[in-house]
Amino acid sequence: MNDFEALSLFQVEEVKLVYSNKIPPDERITVNSSSLAYEVFMAAWDMDKIELQEQAMILLLDHSLQCLGVANLATGSIGSVMVDQRLLFATALKARAISFIFAHNHPTMVLKPSQQDISMTEQLCTSGGLLDISCKDHLIIRRDGYYSFADNGILPEPGRSQKLRKLRLM
């Protein structure tokens, strides 16, 4: 049996990477503050679930902080949501994002980050650093407000997470 005959015995799928952004760059919103990111997330959030189930989303940004899109990553339970980092970064890579803002809601209405939130933020910043896709912020949102890791000075710099470790010890 030659190589061609052996190959024809198997079905091999072709993988294609396709990206299409229909909004022209001059019409995209520039997201340069946590308050504007919050507004974008609130416009995309499922308001029927914001006080019922935790959900996680990302806002994808280009080199000029222009919004490339918002993606819903996961829906969880009343008290937690499992975020698959592979899905997050596959989405960011496909959109050719340079950075992202991560957000999730707290149906409990408490805006203080949990230890799980802090650990997840460290992981996202570390993983993003490896891929050269920076995490600009992590927002915990609810219908009437939000908590910004960046605004509160606890977003780790790529490769450095001392600020979050300090918060974890408190």
Question: Which domains, ranges and CATH numbers included, belong to the chain?
Answer: 24-169 (3.40.140.10)
Average pLDDT taken over every residue of the chain: 86
Gyration radius of the chain's alpha carbons: 19
* pLDDT tens readout for residues 100-138: 999 999 998 789 999 999 999 999 999 999 999 999 999
Q: Which of 60, 54, 92 is nearest to 74 (CA)?
A: 54
pLDDT number for residue 20:
74
Answering whether pTM is above 0.75, one says: yes
Confidence band, pLDDT 50/70/90 cuts, at residue 169: very low
Tally of CB atoms within 10 A around 118: 20
